[in-house]
Chain A
Amino acid sequence: MLSIKNLHVSVDKKKILKGLDLKVNAGEVHAIMGPNGSGKSTLANVLAGRDGYAVTAGTITYKGKNLVEMPPEVRACEGIFLAFQYPVEIPGVNNIYMLKAAMNAIRAYRGELPLDAIEFLNLVKEKVKLVKLKEELLNRSVNEGFSGGEKKRNEIFQMAVLEPKLAILDETDSGLDIDALKIVAEGVNSLRHHDRAIIIVTHYQRLLNYIVPDQVHVLYDGKIIKSGHRELALQLEEKGYEWVKQEAAAA
């Protein structure tokens, strides 16, 4: 589904990703771990198409298409979804209407008719239960006055409604207490599907106690320096990142 080869990315002329390789197949859950400043969020943003992230070398291929030149809204229509680390508040733009516009833009892209108001509301009612988000929040402006946990749950809620093919969760666990973490994890797990891939970007492994990844990668200094299975995350939890760095330096 997603194939990243030798990816180099600069932000404000500063090199952040320096030859990253990653292959993610449909149905898989990958965790990208790494210390602060290693380039995790850059990877998430570059996949979603944020301005200001210059791809200076390498390729990103998604469903056989070159992702690099694709505007963010087209990526979204193609099934890419980024759950933001810091979801922005948008005063004056209603949550539900935004989601409906998003949904219908995706449907139009696929050549499908828009959902009518009732179908859409039924879908919303079903999905909102998944993340235990208070329904009254949905009629507010996007994320306005939401607590940190509510913002993160709203991201997962949107993801559940839009049913992406490739979901990227950027530090979705940060700032969540254990109950909220479980709710978010349940929401994500319910979306695991044989034709959907999920990339979880995280600093800590605690989210991985609830969402068990197929593969774990360690990102350090703009490259993936080690890949493994779930046990790798536990090792990192126990021993920190230093030993992986040394192993990589020795190799």
Chain B
Amino acid sequence: MSTSAIKHYVDQFQHLQKDLISDQLQAQRQSAIELLQKTGFPTTRQENWKYTDVRPIIGKLFNVATLNPENISTETIESIRLHELDCHELVFINGRFSAGHSRLQALPDGVVIKDLASALKDHRQLIAEHISGFSAAEHNGFTALNTAFIRDGALICLPPNAAIEKPINLLYLSGLHDRPFASHPRNLIILSENSQATIIENYIGLDDSDYFTNTVTEVCMKQNAHLQHYKIQQESMQAYHIGSLKIAQGQSSRVESHSISLGGALVRNDIHSRLEAEGAGIIMNGLYMATGKQHVDNHTRVDHLQPHTSSHEIYRGVLNDHARGVFNGKVIVHKDAQKTDAVQSNANLLLSDNAEVDTKPELEIYADDVKCAHGATVGQLDQDMLFYLRSRSIDAHTAKSLLTFAFADEVIRQIKLDPIRKRLESLVIGRLPEADLIREFAA
């Protein structure tokens, strides 16, 4: 199966090359497609993909979308836009940038927020220096595929000491297309010394079109840079989503990552941060909710390479019906990384007898003076809590929804951006029985 898929994408690659401007990334695209030919797509025989079988994705032979993004009506976009969020917004439809639907406000000098296709013309040097920090060993078939098809996405670059107060929202909308299609968004985020930004990647399905989002975001954090990063995945329930967030962190840089995964039939989120200099730290919050036959896999990895680095991770999963969850959190404390502070926890709530989760926190420690803790739990709703609420006249359905929401909200309430937090609470509640009754609890 993999062979025919690879041939399909190689043919597509060769066909598209005529369309693509020949830019300085051509060599990288070429080597990526060669890498894909050599390594193929991941299989469940690989430890990292043991519980996630991607054959449904590679069996589909997706093409690129042909819809002109500007043809989507303003009403469609307006119905999705989070109006309470005052932000800079880049809108992409089926992976293609839409200048007409995007909204950029005035920016401080030297700040670049641009679609990648235009940026490839104007900021060649910058992109060439920072993009594709993947080594051959780090690549998997999907990141290679993404690299081979680099065309659209966002470039966000802050000069030293720049702070952007308003969040930057990358809105990736998919659907309204009659043939199966794939998009390969590529985002590049560069935060120079002492700069600060809040960036949201929001993936939303517009209808039940058959599609595959294969996204890669690379982040370069210079000394003392601060980033709040949100990934909100609300693809359609038929869609496939594979996303990789790769972060390199300089001295005393701080990243706060919130990853909320709600949609998609088959989903894989990877986050990999390298804490490359002293004092670098990352907070990773995650929530995944799956129902029906959804499969959602979260893999995170933090490399502590230098002393006094920290990583704090809390991921929670709520799995209903026949849904399947996978969590793998790896923390590697390298030999020079003394005084590392790493905490990791993953808690899962199984709401049905048929739901399943495989969770594996992993710690590899090669330094001797570190503080590390990790733990994972899988359980059902607490019977004592349930009885307490019922004894207070709250019916069983509402009580279950309430406790489920409270469990998920432990992650969502960490979100500092009010409009995002409220939207997420509303989305989570909307997926529970007796939603109207418990909506008030999120107030």
Which residues in A have some Cβ–Cβ distance to B below 8 Å?
A: 48-51, 71-73, 75-77, 81-82, 84, 87-88, 90-94, 97-102, 105-106, 109, 141-142, 158, 162
Cβ A101 vs Cβ B403 within 8 A = no
Cβ A50 vs Cβ B406 within 8 A = no
A201 shortest CB reach to chain B, Å: 15
Segment with Cβ contacts to A, from B6-14, B49-57, B139-147, B380-388: B380-388
- Give Cα distance in the complex from A50 to B386, angstroms: 10
B386 shortest CB reach to chain A, Å: 9
A97 surroundings in chain B (CB, below 8 A): 440-441, 443
B410 surroundings in chain A (CB, below 8 A): 91-92
Flag whether B392 is at the interface (Cβ < 8 A): yes
Cβ A73 vs Cβ B393 within 8 A = yes
A234 shortest CB reach to chain B, Å: 32
How many A-B pairs with Cβ below 8 Å? Answer: 85
Given A77-B393, A98-B402, 14 further pairs, Cβ under 8 A: A50-B391, A51-B383, A76-B391, A76-B393, A87-B388, A88-B388, A90-B388, A91-B406, A92-B405, A93-B389, A93-B403, A93-B441, A101-B402, A101-B440
Instruction: Name, among B394, B409, B440, the residue most crowded by chain A CB atoms within 10 Å (CB to CB).
Output: B394
A109 surroundings in chain B (CB, below 8 A): 393
B222 shortest CB reach to chain A, Å: 37
**Of all chain A residues, which has the CB nearest B399?**
A73
Cβ A90 vs Cβ B403 within 8 A = yes
**Of all chain B residues, which has the CB nearest A83?**
B391
Instruction: Name, among B391, B413, B437, B440, the residue most crowded by chain A CB atoms within 10 Å (CB to CB).
Output: B391
**Of all chain B residues, which has the CB nearest A78?**
B393
Select one of B383, B389, B391, B398 contacting A90, CB under 8 A.
B389
- Give Cα distance in the complex from A81 to B390, angstroms: 11
Cβ B395 vs Cβ A105 within 8 A = yes
Cβ A76 vs Cβ B392 within 8 A = yes
Select one of A51, A87, A90, A105 contacting B393, CB under 8 A.
A105
Which residues in B have some Cβ–Cβ distance to A below 8 Å?
A: 382-385, 387-396, 398-399, 402-403, 405-407, 409-410, 413, 437-438, 440-441, 443
B385 surroundings in chain A (CB, below 8 A): 88, 90
21 CB contacts below 8 A, A to B, read A48-B391, A51-B383, A71-B390, A72-B390, A72-B391, A73-B395, A76-B393, A87-B388, A88-B388, A90-B385, A91-B410, A92-B405, A93-B403, A94-B441, A97-B440, A98-B394, A99-B392, A105-B394, A105-B395, A106-B393, A141-B406
A82 surroundings in chain B (CB, below 8 A): 391
A117 shortest CB reach to chain B, Å: 10
Cβ B407 vs Cβ A92 within 8 A = yes
B442 shortest CB reach to chain A, Å: 9
Contact status of A92 and B409, CB under 8 A, knowing A51-B383, A71-B396, A101-B398 = yes
- Give Cα distance in the complex from A87 to B388, angstroms: 8
B437 surroundings in chain A (CB, below 8 A): 101
Select one of A73, A81, A88, A141 contacting B394, CB under 8 A.
A73
B143 shortest CB reach to chain A, Å: 36
A141 surroundings in chain B (CB, below 8 A): 406
